[in-house]
Amino acid sequence: MMIGRDVSRPYKLTISFLLSLILTIGVKMSFGYVGFLDSMLIGTIQGYPSSFEETIFSIISFVASPKMDIVWILIIAIILWWFKFKVPAFFSLVLVFGGDAVGFVIKHIVAKPRPSMHLPGDTGFSYPSGHVLGAFLVISVLWIIVVPMINRQSTRWIVRTILVIVLFLVMISRVYLNAHFPSDTIGAALIAYTWLQICEYGYVKWARSLSNKRIFRNTIY
């Protein structure tokens, strides 16, 4: 089974859920500690703007946009399905589309306005960042399903390092472009990680029974 039982998963889920809940309530209630965190990080990230950095972060932001996340996960799922990883392909789709739905609901519950002077293309509420949430989940699929297929341990380490850097750059880009507050990106990562833990629970519980269904016949799971 590609995603096995993990004795630490209940602790991971509990901690990530509590951190997500605390930050979400803090953002909703406009607590001072959230404002302090945002102002401190914004000053650091936006301190020395340049046209080169704006171009680079705009490209990163486009590649990691929610619409592109759908494209990436569909490509990944189709490739996994083609190579008989049917249940993992289904898991990937549930993870990303379900995570997007969770983020959408939380956005409208918190209803936090975006930073002033944000780009016209950045519409809707600010918390949590849809870019970061989606990118985190797509990267998670690569991390836990695709990367383990690589034989060389050193190559796996390099790829995972790149994935971490990409996620970090996506988070930075959204703040640099004034599309989100730093707390929006941190909250998105926490919410995505919590959803990932929930989906991994579901995979462990239902992967074997799904493999017996006709549509998933001859699957590797």
**Would you write out the chain's pLDDT as a tens digit for each of its 221 residues?**
788 889 999 999 999 999 999 999 999 998 988 999 899 898 888 877 778 888 999 999 999 999 999 999 999 999 999 999 999 999 999 999 999 999 999 999 999 998 887 666 677 899 999 999 999 999 999 999 999 999 999 999 999 999 999 999 999 999 999 999 999 999 999 999 999 999 999 999 999 999 888 898 888 88
pLDDT at 45: 87
Contacts of residue 130, defined as CB under 8 A and 6 or more positions apart, other chains included, come to 66, 100, 103, 104, 107, 124, 188
pLDDT at 132: 97
> How does DSSP assign 51-73, residue by residue?
HHHHHHHHHHHHHTSHHHHHHHH
> How does DSSP assign 107-137, residue by residue?
HHHH-PPPPTT--TT--S--SS-HHHHHHHH
Kindly report the number of other CB atoms within 10 A of residue 47's CB atom: 7
Kindly report the number of other CB atoms within 10 A of residue 121's CB atom: 10
pLDDT at 139: 98
Q: Which of 174, 182, 197, 193 is nearest to 62 (CA)?
A: 174
Beta carbons of 200 and 137 less than 8 angstroms apart: no
Confidence (pTM) = 0.93
What is the DSSP-derived secondary structure letter of residue 4? Answer: -
CA distances from 92 to 3, 169, 219 (A): 12, 23, 14
What is the spatial distance between Cα 211 and Cα 221, in angstroms, rounded to a whole number? 8
Q: Which of 110, 108, 104, 109 is nearest to 28 (CA)?
A: 110
What is the spatial distance between Cα 61 and Cα 66, in angstroms, rounded to a whole number? 10
pLDDT at 124: 82
